[in-house]
């Protein structure tokens, strides 16, 4: 069993939370729920309402987007990463399914606690924007590469 102090130290290692006062991180850790997911179990599904963000303590998971024909793994996430924040920040349904690929231990941060922390710590809001911009840049780059491959395949 992890202590509150250990959870605070774990949160401090996450780039998103490094600039946050330890007292605020302690409150965040205290208000959060520790959850375990087994391999193959979904943390949430694409289209679900966003009620929380998740900090991965241990393990790995796939980020999966469903299309009409199949599921596509678009990313893998692991230790010290945060997931699920897009839907709570933008108030949109979950943009993907997140599925554990092994035993996964997470800290579930409820929407109201996450948003409260963002409003109290402007630096966190800036870090969230940087993280989202980085993900968008990566996705845009991958989409461009996929379009080039598709175009090349069509011209053959």
Give, for 53, the enclosing helix (H) or strand (E): strand 52-58
- Domain ranges across the chain: 4-155
pLDDT at res. 65:
94
For residue 1, what pLDDT is reported?
A: 59
Residue 138, SS3? helix
pLDDT on residue 77: 94
Highest mean pLDDT, choosing among 11-20, 54-63, 134-143: 54-63
Q: Which tokens is 49 given?
A: 């309402």
Q: Average pLDDT of 73-97?
A: 90
Give CA–CA dist 44/99, Å, rounded: 8
Rounded Cα distance between 47 and 92, Å, is 9
3-state DSSP assignment of residue 56: strand
| Fold classification of 4-155 (topology level) | Jelly Rolls (2.60.120)
Tokens matching residue 147: 């379009």
* pLDDT recorded at residue 60: 97
Q: What angle do CA 110, 116, 122 make, to 5 degrees?
A: 130
Interstrand relation of 104-110 and 52-58 (parallel, antiparallel or unpaired) = antiparallel
Distance CA 105, CA 2 (A): 11
How far CA 31 is from CA of 25, 62, 73, in Å, comes to 10, 26, 31
One-character DSSP codes across 23-78: HHHHHHHHHSEEEEE-TT-EEE-TTPPP-EEEEEEES-EEEEEE-SS-EEEEEEE-
Looking at residue 149, its pLDDT comes to 86
């Amino acid at each position: 069993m992890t202590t509150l102090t250990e959870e605070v130290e774990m949160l401090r290692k996450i780039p998103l939370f490094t600039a946050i006062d330890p007292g605020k991180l302690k409150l965040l850790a205290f208000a959060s729920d520790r959850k375990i997911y087994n391999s193959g179990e979904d943390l949430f599904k694409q289209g679900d309402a966003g009620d929380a963000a998740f900090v991965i303590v241990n393990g790995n998971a796939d980020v999966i987007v469903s299309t009409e024909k199949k599921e596509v793994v678009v990313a893998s996430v692991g230790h010290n990463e945060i997931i699920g924040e897009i839907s709570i920040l933008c108030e949109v349904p979950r943009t993907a399914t997140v599925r554990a690929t092994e035993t996964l231990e997470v800290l579930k941060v409820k929407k109201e606690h996450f948003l409260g922390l963002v409003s109290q710590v402007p630096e966190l809001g800036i870090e969230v924007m940087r993280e989202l911009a980085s993900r968008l840049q990566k996705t845009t780059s991958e989409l461009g590469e996929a379009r080039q491959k598709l175009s090349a395949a069509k011209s053959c």
